[in-house]
Amino acid sequence: MNTVMFASCLAGPMRSFVELRQLSGTDYQSQARLLSYFDRFLVAEDFARPYVDADVVQRYVATMTALAPRTRSNRVCVLRQFCCDLAMSEPHCHIPEPLRCCRSTDAHVAYVYSDAEIQAILAEAMRLRPVESIRPRTFHTLFGLLYSSGIRIGEAMALDLPDVCTDSMRLHIRNGKFRKERWVPLSKSTWRVFLDYIRVRCRLFAPTTADTALFVNTRGGRLKHCSVNVAFRHVLTAARIPKSGADGPRVHDFRHTFAVRCVLRWYRQGRDVNAMLPALATYMGHVDIASTQVYLDAAGQLLGPVNERFHNHFQQHVARRISS
């Protein structure tokens, strides 16, 4: 990944800030790119102070009026982090307040796939052309893995053959988000499909190096996001799954579906969901539970089991005490 370059009068502190964040174990490249927009603005403004003042922040924010609210919020959030760091050595540094990021009317709403839709997606994936190529099996296995494991599409595409641990039915996610490494166990049914794909994949494209990609295209190369999106849109159309909102359903919604179904299953089993959420966060590669809860906010399916559990709890404990 290319290193972000800074050129303003605050380039030195910006580089030190990014390096410090990266030493803590986070990638921070996307945040560094957001900070680079402010760096370019300072260059265009001929800004020469050794600290950030309120006026330059106000002018910078004024240039973002055409951007989406969340985009503006993310840029100011990174700028605020940088200013907090700079203020430790420059007491006059202004620390901007975070922007309010109201949910816009066209913001994406997570789509939770039904059992029938998952079956239709997997069936149509096996009908992709060229029928005799590796392509149908690649996307059938990929979409099934995303649904059954909840891993990120980028993590799945980055998998190499050595990341498959056949002794314990696990996948090794070597470089997840924020450089988090983890092991992902798979169910027996998913594992059977997985091994069948690997046999076909290795027969058609024999591994040549240690970093040989697991999921490959018709030429044996690693999948790219554009090819995954093209195949996914084709599969959705063939499966007659209608468009939802501005851009959904998306490949990423497999991850939402996985999280919602886990929590639903725990509710139905009568398990302590609050106690289980840290395990789900770890499995999904989140840095904290708050990140996992984002995947559950739009899950209307959870309301029924939650209400049922509350009703049962009320009947068993509260109502009994009242009557006695």
Residue 1: inside a domain: no
Same domain, yes or no: 271 and 244: no
Rounded CA separation 155/283 (Å): 13
Same domain, yes or no: 217 and 282: no
Same domain, yes or no: 189 and 201: yes
pLDDT tens string 281-299? 888 987 667 677 766 664 5
The domain in which residue 304 lies consists of 254-323
Predicted TM-score (pTM) of this structure? 0.69
CATH number of the domain within which 176 lies: 1.10.443.10
Number of domains in the chain: 3
Same domain, yes or no: 248 and 260: no
Same domain, yes or no: 241 and 260: no
The domain boundary residue, chosen from 252, 275, 300:
252
Same domain, yes or no: 248 and 258: no
pLDDT, residue 155, reads 94
Residue 322 has pLDDT above 60, yes or no: no
Same domain, yes or no: 261 and 281: yes
pLDDT, residue 270, reads 84
Average pLDDT, the chain: 86
pLDDT, residue 318, reads 45
Helices and strands, number each (H, E), in the chain: 14, 3
Residue 126: inside a domain: yes
Range with lowest mean pLDDT among 35-39, 162-166, 192-196, 263-267: 263-267
Rounded CA separation 189/84 (Å): 50
Please give the structure tokens belonging to residue 287: 């840095």
SS3 160: strand
In the chain, at which residue ranges do the beta strands (DSSP E only) sit?
Answer: 164-165, 170-173, 182-185
Residue 133: inside a domain: yes
Residue 103: inside a domain: no
The domain boundary residue, chosen from 252, 286, 305:
252
Residue 110: inside a domain: no
Rounded CA separation 117/324 (Å): 49
Residue with structure tokens 């999921």? 215
Q: Where are the alpha helices (DSSP H) in 87-134?
A: 115-125
pLDDT tens string 200-219? 999 999 988 878 999 999 99
Same domain, yes or no: 141 and 76: no
Same domain, yes or no: 222 and 274: no
Residue 78: inside a domain: yes
Same domain, yes or no: 138 and 227: yes
Residue 96: inside a domain: no
pLDDT tens string 48-92? 999 999 999 999 999 999 998 888 999 999 999 999 999 999 999
**Percent of the chain whose pLDDT exceeds 90:** 61
Residue 104: inside a domain: no
The domain boundary residue, chosen from 252, 273, 298:
252
Rounded CA separation 2/170 (Å): 31
